[in-house]
Amino acid sequence: MNKNRMTSLQIRRLTYAALYLAIALVLPFVTGQIPEIGSALCPMHIPALLCGFMCGWTWGAAVGFIAPLLRSVIFGMPALFPAAVAMAFELAVYGGMAGFLRRKLPRKRGVTYAVLLISMIAGRIVWGAVRVILAGLSGSSFTWALFLAGAVTNAIPGIILQLVLVPVLVIAMERAGLSLNEK
């Protein structure tokens, strides 16, 4: 790959990543208009996953890590400790894993779903592990019941939304030639 093409590709990845970060900051305002399930839709997860799929693992991990921390500092939500800190690690794994697996595995519809599921499960496991560590540091507890509630039960609307929306968007963007996560 020549130097000009590489520089152009990096600038496009940076631009796309900035767009995904902006979406992660704004999307919770949109879903928040649905009081019953707004936060359960896990709106910041979608841009982190999409960034990983489209821009690669490094950009997906970076956007995933920065988004909840930046949103906490700017808007006060989610609360910085422990929520935004734990989410930063969770979303970094989402974006990083999605980008890494997308690059390494065949680009087939079924594989897209598998990459998404693996990324979601890994991210939730990391979220739980970080919550346990943060609970230990703060002298509180984080039980198995709290993990299940936070990672699964309360997130069911978001899990369903991610499983429906993300693969459709990934496939559509790849068909449109918008993927920068090249093999």
Q: 181 in a domain, yes or no?
A: no
Query: Looking at residues 19-44, what average pLDDT do you find?
Result: 93
- Domain of 24, in residue numbers: 3-175
Q: 49 in a domain, yes or no?
A: yes
pLDDT at 4: 85
Q: 127 in a domain, yes or no?
A: yes
Query: Looking at residues 83-110, what average pLDDT do you find?
Result: 96
Query: Looking at residues 36-54, what average pLDDT do you find?
Result: 95
Q: State pLDDT tens for residues 59-88.
A: 999 999 999 999 999 999 999 999 999 999
Matching residue, tokens 């739980």: 128
Among 6, 9, 91, smallest CA distance to 42 is for 91
Q: State pLDDT tens for residues 14-23.
A: 999 999 999 9
Q: Please report which confidence band the pLDDT of residue 183 belongs to, taking 50, 70 and 90 as the band edges.
A: low
Query: Looking at residues 118-141, what average pLDDT do you find?
Result: 96
pLDDT at 18: 98
Query: Looking at residues 154-167, what average pLDDT do you find?
Result: 96
Q: 182 in a domain, yes or no?
A: no
Q: 154 in a domain, yes or no?
A: yes
Matching residue, tokens 């540091």: 137
- Count of domains in the chain? 1
Q: Please report which confidence band the pLDDT of residue 133 belongs to, taking 50, 70 and 90 as the band edges.
A: very high
The C-alpha angle with vertex 91 and arms to 90 and 92, in degrees rounded to 5, equals 90
The structure tokens listed for 106 are: 């065949």
pTM reported for the whole predicted model: 0.95
Q: 80 in a domain, yes or no?
A: yes
Contact 15, 53 (CB under 8 A): no
Among 103, 124, 125, smallest CA distance to 170 is for 103
CATH of the domain at 12: 1.10.1760.20
Q: 180 in a domain, yes or no?
A: no
